[in-house]
Amino acid sequence: MKIKAIWLRNIRSHKETYIEFKDGFNCLIGGLGAGKTSVLYAIDFALFGEPLGRSYAYLLREGASEGRVVLAFSHAGSNYRLVRGLRRTGTGIEQNPSQLELYKDGNLIAERRVSSVKEQLKKELGLDSEVFREVIWIRQEKLKEILDMKPSERQKKIDKLLGLEEFEEARRRLGSIERTYKGMLEAYRTDTDLVMARSLEEKHAKLVEELASMAVELEGLRREHEDATKAVEEALTNLKALEEARKKQEELLRKKVELLTSQREVEREVKRLAAELERRKEAKERLEKQLKELVAREMKLRSTLALSGLGAGASIEEAEGLLEEWRGRIEELRREVVGLEQAIRGHEESLSVISREARCPTCLRFIDEEYRRKMTSKLKREIVEMRHKLDDYRSELSELEGRSSGLEEAISGLRLVEARKSELEARLKDEEEGLELVEKELDRARMRLEMLKVELDALEAELVGPSDEEIEGAREALEGARKHLSEVEARMRELEVRRSMLKEQIADLERRLKAVEKKRAKMEKVSKVLELIKLLRSAYKAVRPHLRSEVIRLARFYIQRTLDEISGPEGAGMVVEIGQDYTPVIKVGGRERSVAHLSGGERTLLALAYRIGMGHLIMQYRTGHGLDLLLLDEPTESLGREDLSIDRLADAISRLRGVRQIIAVSHSEAFAERADHVIRIEKVDNESRVRTEERP
């Protein structure tokens, strides 16, 4: 991962700040409280959105209602942009979901939901806040913290960062699971269904036989039910046909009333649309007239562009470009005029000195008469030449000021004309579209009116229907068929209830018998799981020491490689060994030396190599890639310039090549001198200001 740039708005003392970072050693330099560490806080907030304490009060600028951080970074060949915002509410400060966005190669991949952005970022980087704050970001006065820890604390901390403690936790959890499965196995052995399985099977066979005899009786009732149902359907079909005929007659009468009502409404709509058509035609003519007048005004203004040396068809941007050139020339001429006026005054003062005191105006030595005359003649000639040039400049300046004033007025006028012209054209287009729409609606309304008249004429011939006597006879026939059907259904329901109860009993027995089979299978599976749990617990117990040995071997490699890379004369010949509790032991010239007996410079080199080497290892284990980024917050806090400890640390960091990008915060100018890129931060009127100093 490499940070490319960060934008801060209302973050601590940063009101509006943009900083670019590059590969290599970047140093943020500034005085106490200038806003250096705020940049590291902003990077942490942008990546994870989690406050370092209980609230975001340390981040949001005092008095600001909202703040924002935009972080641009690259990883694995892709470019990312992460946006997070803060807002002040009645109860405190919170993240602003409306400003939460994550982009990958210009495409939005997550937004608004904090959990969604967190999951996507973990997926892309394989990084969480714990690893970032413990490995990548070395906080103030924390460089030597791991070396100063007790061995047991150091081992516990590094095991946690590497994920090795998860094996012991898994073994403990498996112990609890093993006890649970033992209880399950004992419960199966005393289960009632498993003990009474034989008697359940005999009862099930008896009930199945009784259900079969009941099915024969039901079959006879079903045939009788089918005949009764058919009679009801025939009577119902006849009645429905008669009622449908009567309903159709009533529907036709209602439809006639609706058609007459619709006819009156359509006639009113035709009148309204005709009036609307006339109004829109008048509005269109007015807009066309206004547009014509505006075009004439535009042509007049463009004639001014032609007089300025541009074509009449030149764009406003071209005219503004010419106006900028003229303004630049005007400023240049004004400077020339001021310079010439000052030069003339200087020459006149020199003439005064020569004529009054016969001294050289430059060195103030006395001069002879011949030299005085030559110098007087030369100064007067130069004054005349400068006055001529001054007149030329003033004339050109006056002409350019007049022409630029006219061109500026023409540009302003053209902008107004273009805006008004676009507005009129849009309105004219709307009127034309509206006019066309009204014409179509009017045609449709007239066509609808004609169709309604045709429908009314056709409807008059269909108003016929059945008599009341025919409908009443059909209803009586239907009632008799339904009564017979109800009697058959009552007998069937009684038998179905008895059958249903029998099926429920059989189903209950079948469920219990199936449960017996499942419980037997589960009992066997629980036994196998218990065997597997015992094997896993033994494996977890054995694998942790093996993994730690492999980790220590790799840790020694990474730390030694880093130490060799950053070491100058002080670190030459230092060999690192790592104990089982991750305690480093140094060998110099074949002799072992504890960390406590190292010099200050050697301890600083070892601390830096240890943090970076372990960082590479932890990042490989947790994310699958090495330590590409390192953030250092005031690493020189406890170092001094007099003993060159700051210089040695800066030299070590500048020699580091295993980390692609280092961003360090420091108030030490000596430290910043070794950086590849220096970013200076100063506070002016309680606001941080940033400027970048390029290194040769």
Is 560 contained in some domain?
Answer: no
State how far the Cα of 140 lies from the Cα of 635, in Å rounded to an integer: 6
Q: At what angle do helices 316-357 and 369-459 cross, to 10 degrees?
A: 160
Rounded alpha-carbon distances, angstroms, from residue 217 to 225, 279, 483, 490, 494? 13, 84, 22, 14, 12
pLDDT of residue 689: 95
- Which structural domain, as residue segments, surrounds residue 62? 2-126+624-694
State how far the Cα of 134 lies from the Cα of 615, in Å rounded to an integer: 9
Is 521 contained in some domain?
Answer: no
Residue 509 CB neighbour total at 10 angstroms: 17
The identity of residue 677, as a single letter, is H
176-197 pLDDT, tens digit each:
776 776 777 777 677 777 777 7
In this predicted structure, the answer to whether residue 640 has a pLDDT above a threshold of 60 is no
Instruction: Tell me the three state secondary structure of residue 58.
Output: coil
Is 7 contained in some domain?
Answer: yes
In this predicted structure, the answer to whether residue 108 has a pLDDT above a threshold of 70 is yes
Q: Which residue has the tokens 């764009």?
A: 315
pLDDT of residue 507: 87
Is 467 contained in some domain?
Answer: no
| Residue 103 CA, distance from chain mean position | 6
In this predicted structure, the answer to whether residue 641 has a pLDDT above a threshold of 60 is no
Please report, for the domain that includes residue 365, its CATH number: 1.10.287.510
Torsion of CA 55, 58, 61, 67, to 10 degrees: -50
Query: For 416-423, what is the mean pLDDT?
Result: 82
598-611 pLDDT, tens digit each:
777 778 888 888 88
State how far the Cα of 467 lies from the Cα of 473, in Å rounded to an integer: 11
On whether the CB atoms of residues 630 and 659 are closer than 8 A, the answer is yes
Please report, for the domain that includes residue 120, its CATH number: 3.40.50.300
On whether the CB atoms of residues 270 and 445 are closer than 8 A, the answer is yes
The number of distinct structural domains making up the chain is 2
68-102 pLDDT, tens digit each:
999 999 998 999 999 999 999 988 999 999 999 99
Range picked from 49-63, 496-510, 563-577 for highest mean pLDDT: 49-63
* More confident: 326 or 541: 326
Query: pTM here?
Result: 0.50
In this predicted structure, the answer to whether residue 593 has a pLDDT above a threshold of 80 is no
Expressed in angstroms, the distance from the first to the final Cα of the chain is 26
Confidence of residue 61 (pLDDT cuts 50, 70, 90): very high
State how far the Cα of 466 lies from the Cα of 296, in Å rounded to an integer: 79
Residue 633 CB neighbour total at 10 angstroms: 22
Is 320 contained in some domain?
Answer: yes
Is 345 contained in some domain?
Answer: yes
pLDDT of residue 540: 57
> DSSP string of 93-134?
EEE-GGG-EEEETTEEEEES-HHHHHHHHHHHH---HHHIII
Query: For 507-533, what is the mean pLDDT?
Result: 78
Is 523 contained in some domain?
Answer: no
Residue 134 CB neighbour total at 10 angstroms: 20
DSSP H or E run through 389: helix 369-459
234-287 pLDDT, tens digit each:
888 888 887 787 788 778 778 878 878 888 888 888 888 888 888 888 888 888
* 63 CB burial (10 A radius; 0-12, 13-18, 19+): exposed
Instruction: Tell me the three state secondary structure of residue 624.
Output: coil
**Phi and psi at residue 403, in whole multiples of 5°?**
-65, -40
pLDDT of residue 533: 67
In this predicted structure, the answer to whether residue 591 has a pLDDT above a threshold of 70 is yes
State which of 455, 479, 507 marks the end of a domain: 455
The torsion region of residue 598 among left (phi > 0), alpha (psi -120 to 50) and beta comes to beta
State which of 455, 473, 488 marks the end of a domain: 455
DSSP H or E run through 359: none
Is 557 contained in some domain?
Answer: no
Query: For 506-515, what is the mean pLDDT?
Result: 83
In this predicted structure, the answer to whether residue 522 has a pLDDT above a threshold of 60 is yes
Q: Which of 131-140, 239-248, 686-695 has the lowest mean pLDDT?
A: 239-248
Positive or negative torsion for Cα 88, 92, 93, 97 = negative
CA atoms within 13 A on the CB side of 360: 9
On whether the CB atoms of residues 568 and 651 are closer than 8 A, the answer is yes
The torsion region of residue 33 among left (phi > 0), alpha (psi -120 to 50) and beta comes to left
Pairing of strands 661-666, 629-633: parallel
Q: What's the full length of the chain, in residues? A: 696
Range picked from 41-50, 376-385, 646-655 for highest mean pLDDT: 41-50
In this predicted structure, the answer to whether residue 53 has a pLDDT above a threshold of 80 is yes
Share the mean pLDDT of the chain: 82
pLDDT of residue 358: 65
State which of 409, 425, 455 marks the end of a domain: 455
Residue 67 CB neighbour total at 10 angstroms: 26
* More confident: 16 or 670: 16
On whether the CB atoms of residues 662 and 630 are closer than 8 A, the answer is yes
